[in-house]
A and B are shown apart, each in its own frame.
Chain A
């Protein structure tokens, strides 16, 4: 087990001027579960592959523990990887798949078998050890891929979207299994996903990437409560945070006639006289049309436990109603109807302010 650190790690792909991963500085503590998340093409998989040694590092370094592994081939890094499509060897049995590394590493036969059995027992695969992967279900294959990683007792687990090939129900189940297994084994883990729910539920910390640049790395709660910029604010949370442009008038921002107060510090940091007001769907209350931001309800989505209201309102400068501009999350079975005119009142503590030019958060 060891900590992992990226030090200015940069990766270019042939024929592309913009780096796929740009000067990444990231520390992963010993035993930590770090999730890399972002939209497709953000460089999260490239980052993981640099750590695994499947991808070269053009600038900067990658360290595992107290060793600079930048130039080491994968086999010398003492890492294990779980691939998106599992990459099980189809001509080997489950047992041979799990034990392949040990065989390559010339671990004696009886110890190899003992360790394979132990890993299989941990994952409930004992009765499948003699089967070929083709005769397993998707979830079982996923567990074999996990077993192949576990049996090595590596310093770092690398996981590249290991749940994306499972159906929704199994994914939720496996998600908790992987997280608890990792806590039990205590192996440093870097986990790539594009699914923000996986990121939020599994990670000790979550690193959000966009266009190869690290946007923010924080605990799930930290990301949710204090997004560092507009991208993170919009990416984390579902439905997404409402981001509304507002004009600054004195020490407050005005949205549809409703004023949100700015602190003096926030006002000073602002470069122009416009501000981006962010408020999550669960951070607004439905009030009378005359209070709060006046909106028209376009769509009511009833989920039973929750209700989502997609509303349009007269956004500053847009010269008319903007459809679905604001989403509100209210208690399920509330008596809201399509076409109703209501007011949405952002709760003071739920308001996030961002500079519309730089995109960064204006701290209180």
Chain B
């Protein structure tokens, strides 16, 4: 540092490029909309979490106040305990975790080799086949529920977690294959050629070279599927009848019907919180990875 540099300080915030920092009306409007939307969502989240600690009276009379009554009574977690034990959320939580984990893993296990074969092996007709699978994404699953139900009931797989597992895997394959073809396509040819010259068989190339390279894609596929299946309600309602098999979303649906008669709104909202919070946490932790997955292919 020369003498002239003494007392010289770097600006706290470097100047933006000319024009980039200007506040156009559109920009301000956009900002307002985004902030309002975020504030609204935060408010809902606050309401949900606060309400899950309140008595029904508190929920209706002081919707935005902090919970008081259960804390005074010394049982702050009363609603959660009720939902967990009385409404069967405890069992449902375990069921859901196992079902979602098994389904997501199976989906990726089936889709990854398919996507690899479609993009990298240069098989004749792989282009049209990829498109056909992509079309599967466009079929709303609601429209195939009845045939699915009839099909599964003939093989006695209704009201069975394994049956629901099969439905989940089958219905998630189109999206996952499509997502993973994007990942595999973005990998360089040279890597495969290098593996071929190193003497690796196609199977070994897939497992030792390409799969680790696509790890980011596989994790994204796992997370997206896990979130989707965790929240899945309709299929669970249709295919599961006995309480012992209920997933969280399915248990909540039943609980909702019952809670109205019992005025058990505190427990109900605690149930909603149990359903929502794990995914919220997962998203906060993995947001960056999920966004990369969704925007893949939009730029190099």
What residues of chain A have their CB less than 8 Å away from a CB belonging to chain B? 52-54, 73-75, 79-81, 83-91, 100-101, 104-105, 148
Contact = CB atoms under 8 A, between A and B. Distances in A.
Interface in B172-221: 188, 190-191, 193-200, 204, 209, 212-213, 215
| Residue among B190, B209, B213, B215 facing the most chain A CB atoms (10 A cut-off) | B190
Contact of A54 (B191, B193, B198): B193
A104 B199 contact: yes
B209 A89 contact: yes
Interface of B: 188, 190-191, 193-200, 204, 209, 212-213, 215
Nearest to A85: B190
Nearest to A100: B198
23 contacts: A52-B197, A53-B196, A53-B197, A54-B197, A73-B196, A74-B196, A75-B196, A75-B200, A81-B194, A83-B190, A83-B194, A84-B190, A85-B188, A87-B188, A87-B190, A87-B191, A87-B194, A89-B191, A89-B209, A90-B213, A104-B198, A104-B199, A104-B200
| Residue among B188, B197, B199, B213 facing the most chain A CB atoms (10 A cut-off) | B197
Nearest to A49: B193
A79 B197 CA distance: 7
A91 B190 contact: no
B197 A80 contact: yes
A132 to B, nearest CB: 12
Given A89-B209, A91-B213, A105 B190 contact: no
B201 to A, nearest CB: 8
A101 B212 CA distance: 17
Given A75-B199, A81-B193, A87-B190, 6 more contacts: A74-B196, A75-B198, A89-B194, A89-B209, A90-B213, A105-B199
A67 to B, nearest CB: 17
A163 to B, nearest CB: 16
Contacts of B213: 89-91
A267 B191 CA distance: 55
Nearest to B199: A75
Contact of A75 (B197, B209, B212, B215): B197
Contacts of B209: 89
Nearest to B190: A87
B124 to A, nearest CB: 12
| Residue among B194, B196, B204, B213 facing the most chain A CB atoms (10 A cut-off) | B194
A335 B199 CA distance: 62
B197 A81 contact: yes
Nearest to B193: A54
A86 B198 CA distance: 13
Given A89-B209, A91-B212, A91-B213, A101 B198 contact: yes
| Residue among B199, B209, B212 facing the most chain A CB atoms (10 A cut-off) | B199
A17 B5 CA distance: 68
A112 to B, nearest CB: 13
Contacts of B197: 52-54, 74-75, 79-81, 101
| Residue among B198, B204, B212 facing the most chain A CB atoms (10 A cut-off) | B198
A86 B209 CA distance: 15
Nearest to A81: B197
A83 B196 CA distance: 13
A22 B23 CA distance: 61
Contact of B204 (A53, A91, A104): A104
Contacts of B199: 74-75, 101, 104-105
Contacts of A54: 193, 196-197
A328 B212 CA distance: 56
Nearest to A149: B197
A83 B215 CA distance: 23
Contacts of A84: 190
Nearest to A82: B194
